């Protein structure tokens, strides 16, 4: 096989080793479950096997750092890919270690759940690493179909099936819009390869302006749904509330992170020459997402719905970086994503252990938690303050870096909206903290603890929240290396405030 220039295509399967390992362990988990009784295996076997597969895949991903190659002109292996590979695998490890008691107790079809977790991680990685529209779309569908099923796996909870049905119906509409948008983009550019699309859009496209605008609008709408951006967010609160707690956590971090990776790959690569056509769209969506997410969160009484709207508002912060697309804003949003992931994982892991003990998830149910479990109350408080952007915690450092990059890009008004939104968010986060520290507990007032793996995961995450807040330079260095690989050298990026087209269209990296 050769490319259009006659060069031999690279089909070295070791480049896809982490994804192959994850898929193989997904099959292995299901097979082991089928013969669990015959083999005399105990219940912890499945989470242990899942974590083992993730650790092995993570080790293979570490070998991909500073590798610059591609697989058949379909998948790019670089530091940007390595950043998301390691991030998504680490998220899955934390979810399994921090939630395996919940999964065993509250999730139907445990083996299938772990297999879906592994397969969805594969889909998320392909969204970040694809260099062809069709590969990216396949990655989206692998992630989406895994989540459609996982959302509906809660035991004895009617909300779970309803949430899964709403998610799959709306997700199907969003996928159709996205696929139609991609078909229009293919019609304009004549290729599904990122580099060739960039070259085509770098030339005059006045004759095809209307199909290009329609395609870009549909692409923004389709990705906006996956990102839970306003006005494509209506599925998120119901899906977050009805899904099992680990799936809610997964939706808030991996699903959002994978969509952000795809936003960066597309709008920082093949679609960058058309920035004047899509920049205003992203800016409006980012503003609406921050405003609506923060205002509607004020009315929530369920902790999962509150965090759903909080997650929507956070999506607006991330979309600001897409508006000001550059290597600087990309590294800034990757820093913010890292802090957001650590914070949300800490929050959801702590809330999962609270639910394991109480079976409750209303905000008022957290009354007096500082008396019955001061450790969990501390973790939840740190997580909420970090999301609000309080100093000495991860959220403050990452928001500062992100807001600074957006201001440099010429969108000061968006940062003003973001700062006001962060101030509003502090009010509804304080409502939860108020319940934990001001009121006395109801019912059983005895102190209780959590499992060893619970202490391990929440302890590490809490330490990371504080560490990133005080010393975030290592995270910024890693994010900067990932962002550097996203943009080919020699590309003159447009000034965000003018929306001018770039002087030179980005070409596909030559490795």
For residue 36, pLDDT beyond 90? no
For residue 6, pLDDT beyond 60? no
For residue 252, pLDDT beyond 80? yes
Q: How far apart are CA 425 and CA 60, in angstroms?
A: 39
Q: Average pLDDT, stretch 468-475?
A: 91
Least confident of 105-109, 189-193, 274-278, 479-483: 105-109
Least confident of 68-77, 379-388, 499-508: 499-508
Backbone angles phi, psi at 290, to 5 degrees: -65, -45
Q: How far apart are CA 214 and CA 23, in angstroms?
A: 36
Confidence of residue 497 (pLDDT cuts 50, 70, 90): very low
- pLDDT reported for residue 34: 87
Give residue limits of the domains in the chain: 13-486
Per residue in 392-420, pLDDT tens? Answer: 899 999 999 999 999 998 899 999 999 99
Contacts of residue 28, Cβ cutoff 8 Å, sequence gap at least 6: 49, 53
Q: Average pLDDT, stretch 50-79?
A: 89
- pLDDT reported for residue 493: 46
More confident of the two residues 234 and 335: 335
Confidence of residue 8 (pLDDT cuts 50, 70, 90): low
Per residue in 91-121, pLDDT tens? Answer: 999 999 998 888 888 888 888 999 999 999 9
For residue 507, pLDDT beyond 60? no
Q: Under DSSP, is residue 130 helix (H, G, I), strand (E, B) or coil?
A: strand
- pLDDT reported for residue 495: 42
- pLDDT reported for residue 3: 57
Q: Average pLDDT, stretch 200-223?
A: 86
Report which secondary-structure segment, H or E, holds 70: strand 69-71
Least confident of 34-48, 98-112, 296-310, 372-386: 34-48
Contact 341, 318 (CB under 8 A): no
Per residue in 293-351, pLDDT tens? Answer: 999 999 988 999 999 999 999 999 999 999 998 889 999 999 999 999 999 999 999 99
- pLDDT reported for residue 444: 72
- pLDDT reported for residue 118: 94
Q: Among residues 258, 251, 223, which one has the least CA distance to residue 237? A: 251
Contact 279, 287 (CB under 8 A): no
Contact 378, 295 (CB under 8 A): no
- pLDDT reported for residue 492: 42
Q: How far is CA 334 from CA 188, 260, 321, 324, in A?
A: 30, 9, 10, 14
**Tokens encoding 32:** 């082991």
Q: Average pLDDT, stretch 210-231?
A: 91
For residue 20, pLDDT beyond 80? yes
For residue 508, pLDDT beyond 50? no
Q: Average pLDDT, stretch 75-91?
A: 93
For residue 59, pLDDT beyond 80? yes
- pLDDT reported for residue 488: 59
Buried (b) or exposed (e) across 331-350, using 16+ Cβ within 10 A? bbbbbbbbbbbbbbbbbbbb
User: How high is the mean pLDDT of the chain?
Assistant: 87
Contact 110, 47 (CB under 8 A): no
For residue 166, pLDDT beyond 90? no
């Amino acid at each position: 096989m050769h490319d259009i220039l006659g060069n031999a295509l690279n089909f070295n399967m070791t480049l896809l080793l982490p994804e192959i390992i994850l898929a193989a362990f997904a099959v292995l988990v299901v097979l082991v479950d089928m013969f669990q009784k015959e083999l005399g295996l105990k219940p912890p076997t499945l989470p242990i096997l899942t974590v083992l597969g993730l650790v092995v895949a993570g080790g293979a991903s570490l070998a991909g750092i500073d590798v610059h190659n591609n697989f058949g002109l379909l998948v790019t292996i670089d530091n940007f890919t390595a950043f998301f590979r390691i991030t998504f695998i680490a998220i899955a490890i934390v979810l399994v270690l921090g939630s395996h008691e919940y999964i065993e107790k509250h999730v139907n079809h445990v083996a299938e759940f772990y297999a879906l977790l592994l397969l969805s991680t594969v889909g998320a990685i392909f969204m970040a690493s694809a260099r062809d529209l069709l590969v990216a779309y396949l990655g989206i569908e692998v992630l989406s179909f895994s989540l459609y099923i996982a959302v509906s796996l809660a035991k004895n909870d009617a909300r779970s099936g309803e949430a899964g049905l709403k998610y799959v119906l709306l997700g199907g509409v969003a996928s159709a819009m996205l696929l139609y948008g991609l078909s229009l983009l293919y019609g304009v550019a004549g290729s599904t390869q990122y580099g060739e699309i960039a070259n085509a859009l770098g030339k005059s496209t006045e004759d095809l302006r209307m199909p290009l605008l329609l395609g870009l609008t549909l692409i923004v709408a389709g990705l906006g749904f996956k990102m839970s951006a306003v006005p494509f967010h209506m599925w998120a609160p119901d899906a977050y509330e009805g899904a099992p707690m680990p799936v809610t956590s997964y939706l808030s971090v991996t699903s959002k992170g994978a969509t952000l990776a795809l936003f960066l790959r597309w709008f920082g690569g093949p679609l960058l020459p058309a920035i004047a056509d899509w920049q205003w769209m992203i800016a409006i969506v980012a503003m609406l997402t921050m405003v609506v997410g923060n205002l509607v969160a004020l009315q929530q009484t369920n902790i999962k719905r509150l965090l759903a709207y909080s997650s929507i508002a956070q999506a607006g912060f991330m979309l600001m970086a897409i508006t000001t697309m550059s290597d600087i804003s990309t590294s800034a949003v990757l820093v913010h994503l890292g802090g957001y992931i650590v914070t949300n994982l800490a929050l959801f892991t702590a809330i999962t252990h609270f639910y394991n003990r109480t079976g409750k998830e209303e905000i008022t149910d957290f009354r007096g938690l500082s008396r019955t479990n001061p450790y969990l109350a501390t973790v939840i408080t740190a997580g909420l303050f970090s999301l609000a952007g309080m100093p000495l915690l991860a959220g403050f450092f990452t928001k500062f870096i992100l807001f600074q990059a957006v201001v440099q890009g010429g969108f000061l008004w968006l940062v003003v909206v973001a700062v006001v939104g962060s101030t509003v968010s502090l009010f509804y986060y304080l409502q939860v903290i108020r319940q934990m520290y001001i009121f006395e507990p109801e019912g059983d007032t005895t102190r209780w603890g959590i499992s060893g793996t619970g202490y391990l995961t929440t302890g590490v995450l809490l330490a990371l929240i504080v560490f990133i807040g005080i010393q975030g330079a290592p995270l910024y260095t890693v994010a900067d290396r990932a962002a550097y690989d996203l943009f080919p050298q020699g590309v003159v990026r447009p000034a965000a405030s003018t929306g001018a087209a770039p002087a030179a269209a980005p070409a596909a990296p030559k490795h």
